Chains A and B, each alone.
Chain A
Amino acid sequence: EVQLEQSGAEVKKPGESLKISCVGSGYIFSDDWIGWVRQIPGGGLEWIGTVYPGDSNPKYNPSFQGHVIISADKSTATAYLQWGGLRASDTAIYYCVRHGHYYYMDVWGQGTTVIVS
């Protein structure tokens, strides 16, 4: 079964750094792009960015560029989303996604809740 398993919930203070992870299994991790999606409490979905594990050259939504870093390690089948300085407005659920079939988000992680307060 194809799965994306995300790291657990985090509670941080403004200004702190954070790195959350997403481990892929059940498929060849380096074959498909991996992305991150944000969902603010009670809000909609926002695409943050996407990386191809084979070359680790991430593409970002301009709204998030410079505030987050996306990376992937194909040797451990793990993708990462990190912040150097969290803000209260980063409080949200973060999903990792596989861009599989025709690059749509066909597999989703369970979500990582990040609270910045």
Chain B
Amino acid sequence: EVVLTQSPATLSLSPGERATLSCRASQSVNYYLGWYQQKPGQAPRLLIYNASKRATGVPTRFSGGGSGTDFTLTISSLEPEDFAVYYCQQRSNWPSMTFGGGTKLEI
């Protein structure tokens, strides 16, 4: 099983700042990695797929990068609505998949 480790567990920043979230895989997942955003009381939402492709309707301030075992989600300039929990997910051995433990982005 591919284990995804997200860091940091909590990231404290202010609106307007740049956020960089990390996701590391225990073995290569090629580029088969996605990022999801979850706000309190809501279902998660797909932000990024295949490491760097923005899902429909996702603002351009969100960008994904990386391949193999190391990936990042960058939010270029934080908006108040971006404070949430972010999860990475790999599907390199589809139809099996795993999630990371999440990073809480707090104000």
Query: What's the Cα separation between A59 and B94 when bound, in Å?
Result: 10
- 27 residue pairs A–B, Cβ–Cβ below 8 Å: A33-B95, A44-B87, A44-B100, A44-B102, A45-B36, A45-B38, A45-B44, A45-B99, A47-B89, A47-B97, A50-B95, A50-B97, A59-B95, A95-B43, A99-B95, A101-B46, A102-B49, A102-B50, A103-B91, A103-B94, A104-B34, A104-B46, A104-B55, A105-B36, A105-B44, A105-B46, A106-B49
| Contact of A44 with B101 in the complex, beta carbons under 8 Å | yes
Q: B66-103: which residues lie under 8 A (CB-CB) from chain A? A: 87, 89, 91, 94-102
Closest Cβ–Cβ distance, residue B25 to chain A (whole Å) = 15
- In the complex, the chain A residue whose C-beta lies closest to that of B41 is A111
Shortest Cβ-Cβ A-B pairs, 5 listed: A108-B43, A59-B95, A104-B49, A45-B99, A104-B34
| Contact of B43 with A110 in the complex, beta carbons under 8 Å | yes
Inter-chain contacts of B99 with A (CB < 8 A): 44-47
Q: How extensive is the interface on chain B, given as a class?
A: 20 to 34
Residues of B contacting A: mostly: loop
| Contact of B87 with A45 in the complex, beta carbons under 8 Å | yes
Query: What's the Cα separation between A104 and B46 when bound, in Å?
Result: 8
Q: Is A61 an interface residue (CB 8 A)?
A: yes
Given A44-B102, A104-B34, A105-B36, are A111 and B43 also a contact pair (CB < 8 Å)?
A: yes
Query: What's the Cα separation between A105 and B89 when bound, in Å?
Result: 10
Q: Is B45 an interface residue (CB 8 A)?
A: yes
Closest Cβ–Cβ distance, residue A55 to chain B (whole Å) = 12
- In the complex, the chain B residue whose C-beta lies closest to that of A33 is B95
